[in-house]
Amino acid sequence: MKLFKFLLGAATITVGACAVAGKMRRDKQRQEELDEFLCPDIDEPIEKEIESNESPLKHMEADIMGFKEAQEDILPVTLTYSFDSKDSAKQFQTEIAKNGLTSSYDDEDKIVDVIYHDGVNESDLKILSDTLVNACTNASAEYKGFHFNK
């Protein structure tokens, strides 16, 4: 009888442990699915191909002015530029910083990401466009595209 009680107790403990482990595994899987749904990993920026017959600066201006037609809150947005040298990238960053824009530089790929988060009305976008066109012209930057940070 004692052996039967012992085996019954051991079986109960084993079943309980399996149930707890299964629940923890399901909860972890559900949490990972929720995290992926709420904050998906975007490995590469969404970029449009620039047609060769259109100047990259004109294309950039068109992209920027297109932000005002967005139906939802799209900010912040990241605009990407490439450079031939670190010095021209630094010059570009200095020029845009004077106008309150933040940026980051990737030394390995020689790419500057400009983060814009101010507003999408026409006057704000015109100021942004003019600032970036001037900085691109002065620093020999090549516009690569943009992506939304949401």
CATH of the domain at 130: 3.30.70.970
pLDDT digit string, tens, across residues 79-137 = 999 998 889 999 999 999 998 888 999 888 889 999 888 777 888 888 888 999 998 88
Q: Are residues 67 and 109 in the same domain?
A: yes
Q: Please, what is the average pLDDT of the chain?
A: 83
Average pLDDT over residues 12-19: 91
Is 50 within the bounds of a domain?
A: no
Q: Are residues 28 and 61 in the same domain?
A: no
Q: Are residues 2 and 65 in the same domain?
A: no
Average pLDDT over residues 34-63: 70
Say whether pLDDT at 50 is over 80.
Answer: no
Domain containing 83: what range? 56-148
Q: Report the alpha-carbon distance of residue 132 to residue 80 in Å, rounded.
A: 11
Provide the number of structural domains found in the chain: 2
**Which pLDDT belongs to residue 91?**
92
Alpha carbons within 13 angstroms on the beta-carbon side of residue 25 total 6
Q: Are residues 132 and 73 in the same domain?
A: yes
**Which pLDDT belongs to residue 45?**
58
Say whether pLDDT at 21 is over 70.
Answer: yes
Q: Report the alpha-carbon distance of residue 97 to residue 80 in Å, rounded.
A: 15
